[in-house]
Amino acid sequence: MILIEGLVKSYGEHQAVDGVDLSIEKGEIFALLGPNGAGKTTIVEILEGYRVADGGKVLVLGEDPAAKGRAGAALRGRIGIVLQDSSDSQDLTVLETLQHFATYYSAPRNVDELISLVNLEEKSQAKIRTLSGGQRRRLDVALGIIGQPEILFLDEPTTGFDPRARRDFWDLILALKNNGTTILLTTHYLDEAEALADRVGVIVAGKILEISTPATLGGRMKALTTVSWQSLDGQIESVESDKPTEIIRELIKKFDGEIPALSITRPSLEEIYLKMIGEK
């Protein structure tokens, strides 16, 4: 669905993207992770056709996203975009906005179904400027999927969402994936990447550090496991080990039953990510 080879892009002297290779398969959710200024938005906007690469090969659905004219318009009809910031007519209602954008596509989604999909039923008659940040973002997502895109680009989609709205949004994204939509996401929330992404790519200073699954990034599967429990004198004890099962076996013998306050944890994706970024 997406192929990137040797992509480079600079702004004046600053090399924002420095030789990136990446391919994304149909039906996959891929998350690009990286610190502020790493080059994520630049890559995504090149794929969307908003910015032009300086060099390298980029194909989206087999087409050049920088193509102008009919080829470019045809490609744009097959992709959906949710930008970091969007500005549209603040005085239209949610319903009017969606009805308006639906006319741009040959096979748009049903607008009423779309409003309920993004949970904006109560706000369908509200003007855009009266929406909260999270409601505004959900409208952005509705606009991104209104044309039933084959690929959906989401740039930091859940910034400003409350925890319940984020979970609802994740369910929506997973439902789109189950319907065959390919999704490229940038996010600073590592739990979001873990919940959604089949694969993640970590980018720092325009270069990809690693591409892997959330479970295996940065050697996560081989990382030491922390086992902690409450000892007989009431203290919380904690041990890091590559053989946690042995520790548990010993604890079972010692406590002869339930082990108080037992927890067994591997490093979170965020801990692994921060370590990778720190080393870089």
Query: Considering only residues 39, 65, 147, 214, which one is a binding residue for ligand ATP as defined by CB under 6 A?
Result: 39
Of the two residues 42 and 135, which places its CB atom closer to ligand ATP in the complex? 42
Residues counted in the chain: 280
Q: Does residue 158 belong to the site contacting ligand ATP (CB under 6 A)? A: no
CB of 208 to ligand ATP, least distance (A): 12
Query: Does the protein bind ligand ATP through residue 160 (CB under 6 A)?
Result: no
Neighbours of 13 (CB within 10 A): 5
For residue 111 the two structure tokens come to 């607008």
Alpha carbon distances (Å) from 237 to 40, 163, 226, 246, 271 = 41, 32, 10, 16, 21
Which is closer to ligand ATP, CB of 34 or CB of 65? 34
Min dist CB 184 to ligand ATP, Å, is 13
Judged by CB under 6 A, which stretch of 29-37, 94-102, 165-173, 227-235 contacts ligand ATP? 29-37
Q: Does 40 bind ligand ATP (CB under 6 A)?
A: yes
Contact between 42 and ligand ATP per CB under 6 A? yes
Q: Please identify which residue in 16, 22, 81, 184 interacts with ligand ATP, judged by CB under 6 A.
A: 16
Q: Which residues bind ligand ATP (CB under 6 A)?
A: 11, 14, 16, 34, 36-42
